[in-house]
Amino acid sequence: MKTILLICLTLPLFAGVYKAKVQPYEQVTLSAEVSGRIVKLDQKNELKMLNKKVLVIDHALQSQELKNTKVKLKLLQSQIAIKQGQYNRIKNLQGQSRTTKERYKSELLNYKMQSMDLQNAIAKLEDIISKKEISVHQKYLKKLYVRKGDFVVPGSRLMDVEDQNASRIVIFMNSKDRTDIEKKTIFINGKSDNGYIVEKASDSTDAQYLSSYRVELVKHGKVRFGEIVTVEVKDK
C-alpha cells in the first residue's frame, strides 16, 4: 500500500506574490501489504539515495512451497503430454468403445484442470513473495519506521521515500493569478529563468483554501529542498 504525502505551504504576501516551500517531486510512505517478520533491514540505509533491495519480510516457507509447486507442475505437464498422446491415438479408432474414449478424454481434462490450479497457486505465491521484498530504485530513504526482527501486519508503515530527481512547489493562487497561468511568467526569488514549469493547475477552488486554486510547479534536477522561496506571477 502506498500513501502519497503532499506537503503544501503557501503564504500569500500580496497580489501576484506568494511564499512557498520547495519540496521533493514526490514523497511516499510504503506500508506492508502482507504479514511477517522482517529478516533483512539495515538502519544505515536511512537518509541515503538508494538503488537496491532494502527490506525483506520472511518468506522461507512460501519460497519452498513455490519451488515444490513448480516441480509438481512440471511432472503434471509430462503426464498431460503422455495422456494427450494416448487420447490422440484412440479418439478416431473405430475399434475403441465410446466409453474408453470418454474416459481418456475425462482424465486428460482433469489433468489440465489440475495444471491450471497449480499455475494459479504459483502466481499467488510469487505475488506474496514479491510483496515481502521492498526495493528502492533511485529514491532517497527519508525515514524507517521499523527495525530488523519486527513483526508487521498489512497496513504497518515501513518507510518514507522521496523522489529527489526533481522538485515541486505547491501554491494556492487567487483567481486572477490562476487565469491563463500557462501563459504567464513565473518568477522564483526574482528570476524568470528558474527552470520551473506548471505541471498541474486546478480549475476549481481548493477544499481547504476555499477561495484559492491549487497550482503545482515542477523543476527537474537537484535543488535545495526545504527552502522558502518567493513566487511571483506576472503577465508576459
Q: What is the pLDDT of residue 100?
A: 87
Q: Within 13 Å of residue 13, how many CA atoms lie on the same side as its CB?
A: 10
- Could you give the CA distance from residue 86 to residue 10 in angstroms, rounded to a whole number? 75
Q: What is the pLDDT of residue 14?
A: 56
Q: What is the pLDDT of residue 7?
A: 37
Q: What is the pLDDT of residue 35?
A: 97
Q: What is the pLDDT of residue 189?
A: 94
Q: What is the pLDDT of residue 15?
A: 61
Q: What is the pLDDT along the chain (236 residues), one digit of tens a residue?
A: 443 333 344 445 556 799 999 999 999 999 999 999 999 999 999 999 999 999 999 999 999 999 999 999 999 999 999 999 988 888 888 878 888 888 989 999 999 999 999 999 999 999 999 999 999 999 999 999 999 999 999 999 999 999 999 999 999 999 999 999 988 999 999 999 999 999 999 999 988 888 899 999 999 988 889 999 999 998 87
pTM here is: 0.79
- Could you give the CA distance from residue 6 to residue 168 in angstroms, rounded to a whole number? 10
Q: What is the pLDDT of residue 222?
A: 84
Q: Domain ranges in the chain?
A: 2-58+134-234, 60-131
Q: What is the pLDDT of residue 210?
A: 80
